[in-house]
Chains A and B, each alone.
Chain A
Amino acid sequence: MSCKNTEDCQESCFQWDVLAEMKSIAKRCLAAVRRNKKLQYTLLLLPSMIYLTVFFMAPFFLTTLYSFDMVTRLKQIVFTPSLEYYLKAFGMKGLFPIFLRSIGYGLATTLLCVVLGYPVAYYIALKCKYKDGVLLLFMIPLWISFLLRTYALKALLAENGLLNGILLGLGILAEPLEIIRTPTAVLIGMAYNYLLFMVLPLYANLEKLDVSLLEAAATLGAGKVSTFLRVIVPLSLPGIVAGSLLVFIPATGEFIIPDLLGGPESYMIGNLIWDNFLYTRLWGLGSAISLLFIIFILAIILVYLKYAGIKEVVF
């Protein structure tokens, strides 16, 4: 460290001291972190927790505030909660029917998926020789996004689509079937998209089934049907519950399927929120509706879980 005069020296000495001081502070911090395992992992967890808080918790928190009209137009938070928007929501003609309709579609979809999907899961888990391969075949459609699959279905079922093309071409029908823009189309679309969300958890569950239990039932005199109803079904209940939740929650809040495949009779919560939110700035009302929806869903899930007697759902 060469200096030309004393002022230079003092300057660089000062800088040197500050640097050395910072280095030693850093060293001490590092040692402290090294020693304390808990501190290490907390630091490790911090970035993602911060991120999730900012981009997940905060938005929902804000939504709640907006729904209680606690945010002014100037983006200031005021502590004057009001139920104005909730009342407006309740007063909205057709809100409750839309809610019920969404739940209805959700339940119907879940039921359809259980009925249609159970045999598939059963087959792959218990009766299939090439489990991995067949499972893979079933999973590939899942790799395609909802939007594209729904569009493909629409292309198939449309008035000028393939189904009608074949039916008309073969002379089976004189006029094209109008499937699109009906509740039927929506149900078909829901079942089509969500079937695998039911099959996969069910498969996972059935796969772990202890075959010796079935054999034990047989030695105790149970026929095939009895064994199925009394042994297999109860044991696959966790899978059914997991699948139901994986289907019901998103299906109830579905937007794309009723929008692309359905008509005014299948207008659901998803559509309501979409229309009210994207094209208007009615943050307050939209938030209220959104929160009501979440609470509604949570309530139904809790009731369902209690009824099914399961406290934790393990994914």
Chain B
Amino acid sequence: MKIFDKALKSYAFIILIVMYLPIIAMIAFSFNSAKSVGRFAGFSLRWYSQLLQNEDVWTAFYNSFTSAAVVTIISVVLALLMANALVRYKYRGGSLIDTFIYIPIVIPEITESLALLIMLYFIGMPRGFWSVVLGHATFGATFAAVVLRARIAGFRKSVEEAARTLGADEIQTFFRVTLPILMPGVIAAALLAFTLSFDDFIKTRFTTGPGFQTIPLIVYSSAARGGVSPELNALSTFSFGISILFSAVRLFTLRRGRYE
């Protein structure tokens, strides 16, 4: 059945190439000297320098970054508490809480965003940085909890008990023993929450206020208004450069954590 296997392999690689094609094309044309995404005229960094001079882009980047950072902190703290509690103690309503926690991941984002908007309006919260952050943290915490749960499940309780017999109270045990051991998982969860928040579009669009722009928002409005262009390519390339960077670090951390 060698032919079959060969065909299968070829197929898989064709799919792989198809997956990467639009992305590679986008990166390539961001360096296009002509203002076109169909015809490559020559190598040029003009679009990137244009980006760097664009104040709106800088502001949006700053907003995306800071909001993602705050979201990460909130998500990780919440997830640590949640995952710890869930894994260590078997609640009577255990599976119910489980389902409850997984719902944010499964629900279509647009319905969730809409509900959030209603809520923000109802409680009269001003829309801007904090409304975006609090909305993101909901699913950031959930995703982070999923990552942490796997990590905590493999954690041996006896190490904490050992610390207690050696004179450490609960807080000392947590900071000197539990957290260092869980650190790779915590970092992975943090990077995941960060990436999800940084890249988020729909929720942000619903919960943002006038004047608060993020990179995805700019990408969308440019794409919706002007269609395709190399400048937009440059912005997109830049944006996902960051995503790839964080995800790569996350992968590396998880791999390394396994040896400990």
By a beta-carbon cutoff of 8 Å, the part of chain A in contact with chain B is 34, 37-38, 40-42, 44-45, 47-49, 51-52, 55-56, 58-60, 62-63, 66, 71, 75, 116, 119-120, 122-124, 127-128, 134, 136-138, 140-141, 143-149, 151-156, 158, 160-162, 164-165, 168-169, 192, 195, 224, 245, 249-250, 252-256, 259-260, 270, 273-274, 277-278, 283, 286-287, 290, 293-294, 297, 315
Residue of B nearest to A132 (CB): B255
Q: CA–CA, A123 to B233, complex, Å?
A: 33
Evaluate whether A151 and B232 lie within 8 angstroms (CB atoms) in the complex, with A45-B86, A145-B201, A169-B39 already known: yes
CB neighbours (8 Å) of A192 from chain B are 18-19, 22
Check B232–A315 contact: CB distance below 8 A.
no
Check B224–A260 contact: CB distance below 8 A.
yes
Count, A-B residue pairs, CB within 8 A:
225
B38 at interface by CB-CB < 8 Å: yes
Residue of A nearest to B134 (CB): A55
Q: CA–CA, A165 to B228, complex, Å?
A: 13
User: What is the predominant secondary structure among interface residues of chain B facing chain A?
Assistant: helix
Residue of B nearest to A250 (CB): B108
B59-106 at interface with A (beta carbon < 8 Å): 77-79, 81-82, 84-86, 88-89, 91, 97, 100-104, 106
Check B85–A158 contact: CB distance below 8 A.
no
Check B202–A294 contact: CB distance below 8 A.
no
Shortest distance in angstroms between A210's beta carbon and chain B's nearest beta carbon?
A: 20
Shortest distance in angstroms between A222's beta carbon and chain B's nearest beta carbon?
A: 14
User: What is the predominant secondary structure among interface residues of chain A facing chain B?
Assistant: helix
By a beta-carbon cutoff of 8 Å, the part of chain B in contact with chain A is 1, 4-5, 8-9, 11-12, 15-16, 18-23, 25-26, 29, 36-39, 77-79, 81-82, 84-86, 88-89, 91, 97, 100-104, 106-112, 114-119, 121-122, 124, 134-135, 137-138, 141-142, 145, 170, 195, 199-202, 205-206, 216, 219-220, 223-224, 227-228, 232-233, 236, 239-240, 243-244, 247, 251
Q: CA–CA, A67 to B187, complex, Å?
A: 41
Check B118–A48 contact: CB distance below 8 A.
no
Contact of A138 among B16, B39, B118, B236 (CB under 8 A): B16
Can you give 11 contacting A-B residue pairs, CB < 8 Å? A44-B81, A55-B135, A55-B137, A62-B115, A75-B122, A119-B12, A148-B239, A153-B22, A161-B38, A224-B4, A254-B108
Evaluate whether A294 and B107 lie within 8 angstroms (CB atoms) in the complex, with A127-B5, A152-B25, A287-B118 already known: yes
